[in-house]
Chains A and B, each alone.
Chain A
Amino acid sequence: MNTRKLMSGNRAIAEAVKLSEVNVVSAYPITPATSIVEYLSEFIARGELAAEFVQAESEFGAMSACIGASSVGARVFTATCSQGLALMHELNYVAAGLRLPIVMAVTNRQLSQPLGMWCDHSDAMGERDSGWMQIYVESCQEAFDTVIQAFKLAETKEVLLPIMVCLDGFILSHTSEPVEIPEQKEIRDFLPAYKPDADYHTLLDVKKPLAAGGGCPPAFTMEFDYKKYDAQEKGREMLRKIDEEFGDAFGRRYGLVEAYKCDDADAILVAMGTIVGTAKDVADKLRSEKGWRVGVLKLRSYRPFPKEEVLKAACGSKAVAVVSRAISYGLGAPVFSDVATAMYNAPEKPVLLNFIAGMGGRDVDKKGLAAVFEKTIKAAETGKIENEVEWVGLNKNLVGG
């Protein structure tokens, strides 16, 4: 029997972590991730969650504790964003390289400078190549569901990689929506306890001693990297499977992407996070008011990148606008680069438009997205783009030609 409660994205994450019966939580506070860990420490203090709470002295300490705890077979969770995630950076590569199934919630927030607490995807983009998997959620319900899926995916023997559940800082972390919470037993049936194998996993076991994290000569490093690479490739297929199983068990499935009205679309908008929801509403309005055939492609799994799903959903259209909530200075924007890479060798591909939106918490409103669709429809008609990179809602009184 589900309970339906109004709760914020952060609370939804904490409830899911509780029901995932983690063994260790180690974190350091940072706006707007902090309340996730505050809820967890309340649950632990009230005896609702039998986990060890390790108060860390910094995010570096937090990830160190997570790596240590995961190495002894604990199911481990942490939460951070922005500067905190950046402080963990070198350890993120360690966690992925030691193949530890750590789950981390990232309430996407800009990186200083300029200093701010508001939403953009810069922080997680800095960890794109680390080996961590990344899933971007669109709703509080999805945040809850994805944490459960994340533990299962990370702990799958063929995968064994840490994973970030990304939710837009403030816009989702601090927005309250109805969330259905399944019973503990149902979650436990779907997600059994983590049981690492001392002969395979990084597992510190006094009965089978090992030394983890040592040096490796050039003769072997590439092969270990290959195994990590292969693990994410397998992770793509595993996530499809786990999401299907989740759908069977709980009635909700999300996929690696969501192709919204893309089948007949001339123009498609690609985005991640909460921008997607607003874009769907705008697409509906434009279809009914202007008769434009427009669709929205939500990238949910960002790493591993859902190449096949993207090609299937988008290559049939005439123009695709990729809206990144992050910037790749000196080139353009990261999500655009990823989509372009995926499409490069496709026999038929649409015109690709590169949009930057929502930096530093700039509200991505319906007007802005309607303008994106308008430019994309124009590109669909002419086969040409006007500018290499477009900035949505840029204040032209202050900058720009």
Chain B
Amino acid sequence: MSKPYWTKENFPITPNIRNPAGSLAFKCGQWRSVRPVLDEKKCTKCGICVLHCPDDAIAKNEKGEIEINYDYCKGCGICENECPVKALKMIIEVAEK
């Protein structure tokens, strides 16, 4: 049984969030049923997918390349829809071996 988040002693007066970036603890990528796959040859690095991802799960790395963070990508498909060169494709999620 996990430790309770709050006790009577430390239960706050409002549900203010005091630990920043708490959502990082929830790897919602596990909710996916489809995942986006990037065709690097087609990708122009325009960044439109980065702008549109509602979960901030696609980013440009230091080299300017598009990287998908599969820990948090929920597979909504907006990136595939918005990519102007069709470099992203949603495929059925496969279980990790």
Tell which of B7-15, B27-35, B62-70, B81-89 binds the partner: B7-15
B15 touching A214, Cβ below 8 Å? yes
> For the complex, what is the distance from the CA of A227 to the CA of B6, rounded to whole Å?
14
> For the complex, what is the distance from the CA of A98 to the CA of B15, rounded to whole Å?
8
A-contact bits for B2-44, CB 8 A (1 contact / 0 none): 0000000001111111101000000000000000000000000
Q: How many A-B contacts are there with CB distance less than 8 Å?
A: 39
Q: Which residues of B contact A214 (CB under 8 A)?
A: 15-17
B16 touching A202, Cβ below 8 Å? yes
Q: Which residues of A contact B18 (CB under 8 A)?
A: 199, 208, 210
Q: Which residues of A contact B20 (CB under 8 A)?
A: 209-211
State whether the Cβ of A289 lies closer than 8 Å to any Cβ in chain B: no
Report whether over half of chain A's contact residues are helix, strand or loop; otherwise say mixed: loop
Tell which of A113-121, A163-171, A216-224, A267-275 binds the partner: A216-224
Residue of B at shortest CB range from A223?
Answer: B11
> For the complex, what is the distance from the CA of A368 to the CA of B57, rounded to whole Å?
71
> For the complex, what is the distance from the CA of A307 to the CA of B17, rounded to whole Å?
36
A99 touching B13, Cβ below 8 Å? yes
Residue of B at shortest CB range from A212?
Answer: B16
> For the complex, what is the distance from the CA of A1 to the CA of B16, rounded to whole Å?
45
A211 touching B17, Cβ below 8 Å? yes
Q: Which residues of B contact A199 (CB under 8 A)?
A: 18
Residue of B at shortest CB range from A220?
Answer: B15
Report whether over half of chain B's contact residues are helix, strand or loop; otherwise say mixed: loop
- Size bracket, chain B contacts: under 10
Q: Which residues of B contact A216 (CB under 8 A)?
A: 15
Residue of A at shortest CB range from B5?
Answer: A220
State how many angstroms separate the Cβ of A155 from the closest Cβ of chain B: 13
Question: CB within 8 A of B14: which of A208, A209, A215, A224?
Answer: A224
Q: Which residues of B contact A98 (CB under 8 A)?
A: 14, 16
State whether the Cβ of A200 lies closer than 8 Å to any Cβ in chain B: yes
Q: Which residues of B contact A231 (CB under 8 A)?
A: 13
> For the complex, what is the distance from the CA of A97 to the CA of B16, rounded to whole Å?
10
State whether the Cβ of A343 lies closer than 8 Å to any Cβ in chain B: no
Q: Which residues of B contact A224 (CB under 8 A)?
A: 13-15
State whether the Cβ of A160 lies closer than 8 Å to any Cβ in chain B: yes
State how many angstroms separate the Cβ of B21 from the closest Cβ of chain A: 10
Q: Which residues of B contact A223 (CB under 8 A)?
A: 11
A200 touching B15, Cβ below 8 Å? no
> For the complex, what is the distance from the CA of A209 to the CA of B21, rounded to whole Å?
11
Residue of A at shortest CB range from B18?
Answer: A210
> For the complex, what is the distance from the CA of A223 to the CA of B15, rounded to whole Å?
10
Residue of A at shortest CB range from B19?
Answer: A210
> For the complex, what is the distance from the CA of A202 to the CA of B13, rounded to whole Å?
9
> For the complex, what is the distance from the CA of A182 to the CA of B13, rounded to whole Å?
35
> For the complex, what is the distance from the CA of A391 to the CA of B15, rounded to whole Å?
45
Q: Which residues of A contact B16 (CB under 8 A)?
A: 98, 202, 210-214
Cross-chain pairs A/B with CB under 8 angstroms, 18 sampled: A97-B14, A98-B14, A99-B14, A160-B13, A199-B18, A200-B12, A202-B14, A210-B17, A211-B16, A212-B16, A212-B17, A213-B16, A214-B17, A224-B14, A224-B15, A227-B13, A228-B13, A231-B13
